[in-house]
Amino acid sequence: MRGVADVDLTAALALALGRATARVLEAPGFVVGRDTRQSGPSLQGAFSDGLAAEGVAVADVGVLPTPGVAFVARARGLPAAVVSASHNPYQDNGIKLFSAEGTKLPVETERAIEKELDALLDSPEHRSTRPSGSVVVDAEAAGEYRRGVVAALGGRRLDGLHVVLDCANGAASAVAPAVFESVGAQVEVVFDRPDGMNINDGCGSTHPAALSAAVLERGATLGLAFDGDADRLVAADHHGVIADGDTLLALFAIDMAGRGQLAGDSVVVTVMSNLGFHLAMSERKISVVETPVGDRAVLGALEAGGFDLGGEQSGHILFPRLSSTGDGILTGLMLADLIVRSGVGLAPLSAGLIERVPQVLRNVVVLEPHRLAGATDVWATVTEVEASLGSTGRVLLRASGTEPVVRVMVETFDPEAAELAVDRLCAAVEGSLGRPTGS
């Protein structure tokens, strides 16, 4: 659930959601945390009160990264919730639920909660017959998470590594510096002064120019930028050049395959990864498993295939043997460890690794974007276009979940061919799904 705080997502709605969640999950305890948004305390309090009203014992872990809350949930065998809107601006907020395994809830469970929520909103006077629960501040959770992340290094250290951390004025601010300092890194921190309104504001993984500038100014070896709830990461080398999720996944895949730690010599990515990533992996005999957009799809493919690495171009990267969800701090620690073990910096490791294939993206406004999956004439055109582009071209069509548009993307080294292909695909989409009057 996500929207503008106090407009789309109100305290009353959060309270009802807490009650609905407690009724469906029927857990005796619950872990609840948040990021640094101005609206966080009131929404967290309301959601927790809803849980407690249904007899649940709530552990209030305060400000903690989303993966930290998931870690604590898994360690304690309790479901959890995070009040956060991730990389969105401070005006937005949301509530994300986790199972007792630290993973997203099954779709069927989410639907059951939605149904119960609707019933409660229709009849808010319907109270629980169970004794009231409690909400207790838990000051131990942050340390528990920090120790868990550090344990992933297996005793290795980062002595001599000079790193800049951009905490996005978010949940990483009170956690990430301590993690890196505890393993010997020389740490300098920027954007670690949250005031409730500056989360993700010109900083963090969605605004990496600030990280580049800080690395150059301070002469650091490596820069790491998280988003507001610290489940994403982008990096910068000592020249200030940014490495996105595709580059990081390629580095991890090659390193893990070389150490015999990449199951099936395979990596899972979404359809948004650049064709250059696919070509780089093919050259190194690493298979790429492609999924729809979203970490749920990536996690599903990782679990189904028993794979060890997956993620998204945005920097949301998953190491399923180490964490139940994407974790920017863990990812940064693994990257720093890779660099220390290699004996060279990020720049030489990533130089020439991925040759980015130029991309043309166009949004097509249509009457019925939901009909895309069954539009056989559109997919016939896609097949023809893919054949004309060959192995060095790629086509992606995706209906937006929030707008009446179909996103058409073509990647190829020939810009003219890309434009022609997009024109042809857009015409097919409009012809099949309908063009709104006046557009």
Between strands 405-412 and 393-399, the pairing is: antiparallel
Segment 76-86, tens digit of pLDDT:
999 999 999 99
The answer on pLDDT for 434 being more than 90 is no
Give residue for tokens 């400000």.
63
The answer on pLDDT for 430 being more than 80 is yes
Between strands 92-98 and 134-137, the pairing is: unpaired
CA neighbor of 328 nearest in space, from 74, 145, 134, 125? 145
User: Which residues are known catalytic residues?
Assistant: 86
Q: What is the DSSP letter of 435?
A: -
Segment 110-151, tens digit of pLDDT:
999 999 999 999 887 666 667 789 999 999 999 999 999 999
Share the mean pLDDT of the chain.
Answer: 94
The answer on pLDDT for 406 being more than 60 is yes
Mean pLDDT to the nearest integer, 309-324: 95
d(C-alpha 98, C-alpha 321), whole Å: 18
The answer on pLDDT for 439 being more than 60 is no
Mean pLDDT to the nearest integer, 263-270: 96
Structure tokens at 420: 């022609």
Give the pLDDT band of residue 295 (cuts 50, 70, 90): confident
Segment 21-68, tens digit of pLDDT:
999 999 999 999 999 999 999 999 999 999 999 999 999 999 999 999
- DSSP for 319-383 reads -TTT-SS--HHHHHHHHHHHHHHHTS-HHHHHTTT--PPPEEEEEEE-S-GGGGGG-HHHHHHHH
**What angle is formed at CA 87 by the lines to CA 254 and CA 175, rounded to 5 degrees?**
75
Q: What is the DSSP letter of 106?
A: P
Q: What pLDDT is recorded for position 265?
A: 97
Are the beta carbons of 136 and 43 closer than 8 angstroms? no
- How big is the chain by its Cα radius of gyration, in Å? 23
Mean pLDDT to the nearest integer, 301-307: 96
CA 96 to chain centre: 12
d(C-alpha 287, C-alpha 265), whole Å: 6
pTM above 0.85, yes or no: yes
In the chain the domains, ranked by start, together with CATH numbers, are: 2-139 (3.40.120.10), 145-350 (3.40.120.10), 359-433 (3.30.310.50)
